[in-house]
Copies of this chain bind each other. A is one copy, B any other.
């Protein structure tokens, strides 16, 4: 972890959400903001701990997880550049993170004081509206995934997840998983062994190619078909 200070107003990777803030408001945000870097594998914050900051991901990828019974944990989603984590605490009296976040690649993040962020929301209705849009756009993206995962068989869930990686997370048809098979399993809600078997099936069927931790989608049509049919 390493700290440095860069001005939000100069930040070229700043979120579109803050585009409606004026100079003065941007300065307020700047003052409320602390930048940090995490390396792969580092815990950014842990489920249940006090949450007095909103965590903004400037660069990199992080997994969001919840620990379940027997040390077994469930991965909810992969967050990337542009994500605001812990934002559900905005108007809460007791603030705590409801998931854990762990860097799965090198990550640059901003910790933003949640009180000051809240002041901006109340002061600027357009900003508030942007936040609301963000919540529905970005947070609800895992909504459909979850629904899909509940009603489908494993094949559908895996296809769904691969499609999610290619189209929502990495935006490439060939991407590095950044996750172990066991982690992928906990994202789909199954066992490591089943993931292994299924991935092999998908390879044999010519739907994907796998090397190291790299996944390449060869037959997107078929993947979508499986994703939909279950």
Residue-wise, chain A 108-145 has the 8 Å CB interface mask toward B (1 for contact) of 00000000001001111110111111011000100100
Contact size range, A:
35 or more
Interface of A is mostly: helix
Q: Are A69 and B128 in contact (CB under 8 A)?
A: no
Q: Are B146 and A91 in contact (CB under 8 A)?
A: no
> Considering the complex, which residues of chain A in the window 215-230 have a beta carbon less than 8 Å from any beta carbon of chain B?
228-230
Partner of A229, one of B69, B118, B150: B69
A15 to B130, CA, bound (A): 23
Chain A residues close to B by CB (< 8 Å): 66, 68-69, 72, 74, 76, 88, 90-92, 118, 121-126, 128-133, 135-136, 140, 143, 146-147, 149-151, 186, 189, 228-230
| Interface CB pairs A-B, < 8 A, 7 | A68-B151, A90-B133, A121-B129, A122-B126, A124-B125, A125-B125, A128-B129
